Structure 1
Amino acid sequence: MPRRSSPAESNGRPADGVVPGALPVTAIDDTDREILRVLQVDGRTSNTEIARRLGVTETTVRKRLAALLEGDLVQIVAVPTPRLAGLTVSAIIGVSVQLKLLQTVADALTERPEVRYCGISAGRYDLILEAFFTDHEHVVRFSTDVLGPMEGVIDVETSLILKIEKFSYEWEIP
């Protein structure tokens, strides 16, 4: 008799969060970490160049990178700057929400093109958003036309980012 999948498995992942065939995080070693450090600085670095820098073969780099990608431990993407899309105003927005509608509001906001980050928070706000806008009028329209009438939204505080001092995807890999 075939085993039924639980609701937690319906997203393709078992209930314990382990991806079938994925490498456990502890499976990466110093060579994998060094490959990732090089790619964090410049994601376009060739396997041949990484191999030269690390003193390993190109095949080693290719296979290890393939395993990291297959194990869903890394993603290699080009991230266009918001400026390229004409989004020159960025804001951090704190949203207080009726708790019974928290997930509904979070789901609706993650669908908005302005929102690049939406996190459920413990603290002053229930949701923290990072959003990008074309101009100040766009911020006003988002606040009044999107957030204002949204069922469950109690309060909003918007902080405009005047100057970005650091924008990075680099962090230490354990």
Structure 2
Amino acid sequence: MLKLDQTDLRILQSLQADGRRPYTEIAKQYGISEGKVRFRINRMMESGVFEFVIHTNPSKIGLHVQAIIGIVTKVGYRDKVAMELADCKEVRFVGAFAGKYEIMIQAYFPSNDRLIEFTDLYLSKVDGIEATDVFLELKDYKDSFSYIDLADEHI
């Protein structure tokens, strides 16, 4: 596993704020060379520390309904069910959890009718699912992929 130092974390924090920020600006901000910024970014990407992705606003592309769905599986079926759900285009996130639900998914739909179709026509037929609970998002207060905060550090 790649060991990250303060310079790596600073670079990551800069990219989290604006992934389009030129390497020359990052280098200038932290007093290092552009080559060092480029090298460190490439090294972190190759090590799987991060990847560049486009984070779309679902409602701006016609996906107005977001649901978090808790899934109870039959004993021994968690992985099979999770892998099947991971193949669904509507599903953005699939995770195994401890607690009431073995699996939680996040999915986006253009309408409530499409969500109903997904639960009634698709989930009801997935072998290994015993029960589901659908949680409908009413309002989004925070949706972030920024995990690094060096605000308390003396950069």
Q: Indicate whether the TM-score tops 0.5.
A: yes
1:117 matched to 2:74: no
Aligned counterpart, 1:150:
126
| Alignment-mate amino acid for residue 116 of structure 1 | R
Query: Is 1:47 paired with 2:30?
Result: no
Specify every segment of 5 or more residues in structure 1 that has no aligned partner in the other structure, as ranges.
1-23
- Structure 2: state its 5+ residue gaps: 151-155
Post-superposition Cα deviations, 1:41-67, rounded to whole Å, max 9, x if no partner, equal 110001001111111111111111111
Match of 1:32 in 2: 8
Instruction: Give the alignment's Cα RMSD to 1 decimal.
Output: 1.4
| 1:4-153 alignment runs, 5 A limit | 24-26=1-3, 28-153=4-129
Contact 2:12 2:148 (C-alpha < 8 Å) held by counterparts: no
Q: Secondary structure at the match of 1:33?
A: helix
Report if the CA contact (8 A) 2:2-2:47 is conserved.
no
Runs of 4+ more than 4 Å apart: none
* Rounded Cα–Cα distance in structure 1 between residues aligned with 2:72 and 2:144: 28
Alpha-carbon deviations, 1:57-93, whole Å to 9, x = none?
Answer: 1111111111111222111122222224311110110
1:119 is paired with a residue whose SS is strand
Q: Give the total of aligned pairs.
A: 150
Q: Deviations over 1:123-146 (max 9, x none)?
A: 001110111110100110001011
Letter in 1 for 2:81: V
User: Residue 25 of structure 1: CA displacement?
Assistant: 3.4
Aligned-residue identity in percent: 33
